[in-house]
Chains A and B, each alone.
Chain A
Amino acid sequence: MKDETENHSIPISKVHRVTHFLTTGARIGRNYLRHYGRKLVDPEAPRDLLHEQNADDIYASLSRLKGSALKVAQMLSMDRNLLPAAYQEKFAMAQYSVPPLSYPLVVKTFRSAFGKGPEEMFDTFTRKAVNAASMGQVHKATLGDRTLAVKIQYPGVADSVKSDLAMVRPIALSMFHLSPTEYDQFIGEVEMRMLEETDYALELKRSIALSTKSKAIPNVVFPQYYPEYSSSRILTMDWLEGEPLGEAMKKDIPRDEAMVLGQAMWDFYHFQMHELRAVHADPHPGNFIRTADGKLGIIDFGCVKEIPNAFHASYFQLLDPSLLEDEERKLRVFAELGFIYPDDTPRDRAFFIDLFTQLVALLGRPFRFDTFDFADEVYFSTLYDFGEKLANLKELRRSRKPRGARDAIYLNRTYFGLYTILHDLKVSVRIKPTYRS
């Protein structure tokens, strides 16, 4: 039998993680087999037992993932969204493991979009991909004195996202006691974002809009985008010289430079959240570049979350330090955000109020300072421990209502990613932004 205490070993590579999800899948299948076996003998076999086993297997599996997968999963588990998060990550991994497109297919993609091959459009064009991108690959090209990055999408990606998500549905419904409407609400949000990511025409539009509007922020640079060399499956932009932030962070970035990068990133997100009301919702170190002159280069606007105004008002009250002191206002905001419901039992109500108060106090802590040091190990280990605790709370998993609003899913994820990067950079940032709007 399986050893349940698997917390010490940390799978490092993506390959490991993928096989990990696969073994989890196999184990869930086995649990179902066991369940139906038992049911043959005893028709009254409790389904709860099955759910417990499945959920435990997923959590056991996730707790071995110390990378971004777990953080996202922990963040989303606030409203029992853990499973879809797990699968979402699995999809992402599966996409990474796609073999690169052959050059003839790249040529065909160009021909069907522009009527001519890449070598006729650019002065030079690499036959092999230089990088993998989400759902596609990147080639390097030159035209005149410009160096360009050309992103090409794998064929049929949009369809596979839909069918993958459709596959999860029955499993998710039975495993987490979710009602179909609840599940659809959540998965609808995820599906929408993922489908948007497959639409390069939309990405082009958003990239241009967001990068133009964010120009005022110091130390942040954006590539220029080229609509004339872009289509629904091809996206052409300037090649930003530098190295991906993930790579750069593996080596030691001099402290003053790290501070510049961290502050730039904080300001950039603050600006998007409050001024643009549309957020680059994938703060992953691979989506940032440390340019040669030490600035923060921002690429890949595939995943953008637009924030509705009404939601903005409720959500950001959570980060207002005075909220927790004002009991009445706190309850109102909690109700608006779907943390508590009018028809909750008094016991549930007390439980969730207490839980979310702790959570808000913890996650909102940086906002209570003028300058916050994200290098603070104590803060982060408390945060992760709390996330782990959440993931194991029976009350949360059993609650028949979604806890937390649909619009919050990607914002939570964004803040978590942002906190994590700043933590990895070991910087402190000024919370009040330095840009002038």
Chain B
Amino acid sequence: METTRKSTTKKAASSGRKKIARAYRDVMLKTGKQPPSVYSFCLDLGIEEEAFYREFGSFTGVEREIWKEIMNATIRRVTGDKSFQGFSAREKMLALCYTLLEELTRERSFILVQLERTARPELVPPFLRDFRDSYLNFTSRILQEGQETGEIARRPYLERGYPRLFWLHLVSLLMYWKSDDSPAFTKTDAFVEKSVQLAFDLITKGVVDSAVDLARFMFQSRRHT
């Protein structure tokens, strides 16, 4: 295949993806449920079924795309910000959450419809998979940078569990925001503020490390005597 052709088809394809995603969103918002079939969806949209399957395998694939785009837009905005690089890991995490909330708020109606249909988002239903992966990728980068600057404590075994904890935090944030009825979601802001502060108080060098250090010392000194 020639390179020039490839790029044009790709471009056309990505606009096709967007079009399908937008149309799907509209249907979900208007009816509150998935279209009855890909066939009827394509008929309403005026495209061939084939064109749909070229982009997505199923409706879930479309949902996945919409969620992924929310996260990616967030990350693009955050990393594009001038002051972001100068932030501490804690502030980066806060900035990420607040920006994500702004992006989520744009799509709030769609997200509410989706979350209503999901009993336990923490188990990562298929549509949340890319959303989660992209989030965890980015947060692990923040954590790593934090460890390099010494802001976040190195805890060889414990830190393997961090990604899971951060994911659970994000889910709890989503659920809180879902049922938040305060104007401009200021309560969710407070929730982010307090929960991220707590999380970072836990993973920065502090009580836990001193306790482990003392325990290790006691254990070792007893062995020697």
Contact = CB atoms under 8 A, between A and B. Distances in A.
Interface on chain A toward B: helix, strand, loop, or mixed SS? helix
Interface stretch (B88-96, B117-125, B212-220): B88-96
A109 B102 CA distance: 11
A156 B182 contact: yes
Overall SS of chain B's interface: helix
A47 interface: no
Contacts, number: 50
Contacts of B184: 112
Nearest to B188: A155
A155 B190 contact: yes
A105 B187 contact: no
A104 B98 contact: yes
A159 B187 contact: yes
A156 B83 CA distance: 26
Given A99-B197, A119-B83, A104 B190 contact: no
Contacts of B187: 155-156, 159
Interface string A223-267: 000000000000000000000000000000000000000000000
A154 interface: yes
Interface in B91-125: 91, 94-95, 97-99, 101-102
Given A99-B197, A103-B91, A107-B95, A155 B102 contact: no
A109 B97 CA distance: 13
Contacts of A101: 193
Contact of A108 (B87, B189, B196): B189
Contacts of A103: 87, 91, 94
Interface string A114-156: 0001010000000000000000000000000000000000111
A111 interface: yes
B140 interface: no
B120 to A, nearest CB: 27
A13 interface: no
B190 A107 contact: no
A102 interface: yes
A111 B102 CA distance: 10
Contacts of B193: 101-102, 105, 155
A99 B195 CA distance: 13
B186 interface: yes
Contact of B91 (A104, A112, A156, A159): A104
B90 A156 contact: no
Contacts of A156: 182, 186-187, 189-190
A103 B202 CA distance: 20
A103 B83 CA distance: 11
Contacts of A117: 83
Interface string A90-109: 00000000010111110111
Interface string B145-181: 0000000000000000000000000000000000000
Interface residues of A, number: 17
Contacts of B94: 102-105
B221 to A, nearest CB: 38
A105 B99 CA distance: 10
A108 B99 CA distance: 8
Contacts of B189: 105, 108-109, 155-156
Contacts of A105: 94, 98, 189, 192-193
A107 B101 CA distance: 13
A135 to B, nearest CB: 12
Interface string A69-113: 000000000000000000000000000000101111101110110
B91 A155 contact: no
B182 A159 contact: yes
B75 to A, nearest CB: 15
B91 to A, nearest CB: 6
Nearest to A101: B193
B90 A108 contact: no
Nearest to A111: B102
Given A155-B189, A159-B182, A102 B102 contact: no
Contacts of A104: 87, 91, 94-95, 97-98
Nearest to A102: B94
A156 to B, nearest CB: 5
B137 to A, nearest CB: 20
Nearest to A154: B190
A283 B143 CA distance: 47
A350 B190 CA distance: 53
Given A107-B98, A108-B102, A102 B197 contact: yes
29 contacts: A99-B197, A102-B90, A102-B197, A103-B91, A103-B94, A104-B91, A104-B97, A104-B98, A105-B189, A105-B192, A105-B193, A107-B98, A108-B98, A108-B99, A108-B102, A109-B189, A112-B184, A117-B83, A119-B82, A154-B190, A155-B187, A155-B190, A155-B193, A156-B182, A156-B186, A156-B189, A159-B182, A159-B186, A159-B187
* Nearest 7 A/B pairs, CB to CB: A155-B186, A104-B94, A104-B95, A155-B189, A108-B98, A156-B190, A156-B187
Interface of A: 99, 101-105, 107-109, 111-112, 117, 119, 154-156, 159
Interface of B: 82-83, 87, 90-91, 94-95, 97-99, 101-102, 182, 184, 186-187, 189-190, 192-193, 196-197
Given A108-B189, A159-B187, 18 more contacts: A99-B197, A102-B90, A102-B193, A103-B87, A104-B95, A104-B98, A105-B94, A105-B98, A105-B189, A105-B192, A107-B98, A111-B102, A112-B102, A117-B83, A155-B186, A156-B190, A159-B182, A159-B186
